[in-house]
Amino acid sequence: MELLIILAMGLVLVFMLGYTLWPLVSGVLFLALMFAIVCEVFFVIAGLMWLLARRKNAKYLGLSDDDGPASFAYYEIDGEEYRNIFPTDVFMRRFLYRKEEVHVRLLRMRKHSYVFDRVTTLVIGLGLPAFAVIIVLLLAFVG
């Protein structure tokens, strides 16, 4: 509540000094545009990694809370344990992760291995076009 009062007082002060609201709004839109571009680059890189990964059969081992504030899904592939690349969603965990054998994509690089399960595939598939649309809309207002 105090934050809203401070914000309102700041806006009144800005108007009293003769400034308009548009520079403030355009600055916030510009920051949102930069954030959307960074997110789009992240999803492009994740999508390229997904394309390079090979399809494998895996056994879902469960979720681990030992990774800090986020939980990750773990899979067994060819006798080795791998962690999913993205943290899990708190909502709908029992619907998204099944105990039977599943198909995942595994990308092995020099020291790291990345597993893409169906949830990760869905996130990448939705994130790429969503942030592209957001960038186009923000460019219409900022540009």
Q: CA of 87: how far to CAs of 28, 91, 93, 117, 131, in Å?
A: 29, 12, 11, 11, 20
Number of domains in the chain: 1
Instruction: Evaluate whether residue 3 is within a structural domain.
Output: no
Task: Decide: 89 and 73 in contact? Cβ < 8 Å.
Answer: no
- Whole-number pLDDT of residue 143: 65
Q: Where does 53-117 have alpha helices with state H? A: 93-96
Q: Is residue 111 part of a domain?
A: yes
Q: Is residue 81 part of a domain?
A: yes
Contacts of residue 37, defined as CB under 8 A and 6 or more positions apart, other chains included, come to: 135
Does 9 fall in a domain?
A: no
Sign of CA dihedral 61, 64, 67, 73: positive
Domain containing 137 equals 28-143
- On whether residue 22 sits in a domain, the answer given is no
Is the pLDDT reported for residue 65 higher than 70? no
Region 55-83: mean pLDDT is 82
pLDDT confidence of 101, banded at 50, 70, 90? confident
Indicate whether 79 pLDDT > 70: yes
Residue 10 belongs to some domain of the structure: no
Between 40-54, 58-72, 89-103, 108-122, the lowest mean confidence (pLDDT) is in 89-103
If one compares 39 and 86, the residue with the highest pLDDT of the two is 39
Residue 50 lies in a domain: yes
- Mean of pLDDT values over 114-121: 87
CA angle 86, 92, 97 (to 5 degrees): 60
Asked whether residue 16 is assigned to any structural domain, the reply reads: no
Residues 6 or more apart in contact with residue 28 via CB below 8 angstroms: none
List the alpha helices (DSSP H) in the chain: 2-16, 22-52, 93-96, 118-142
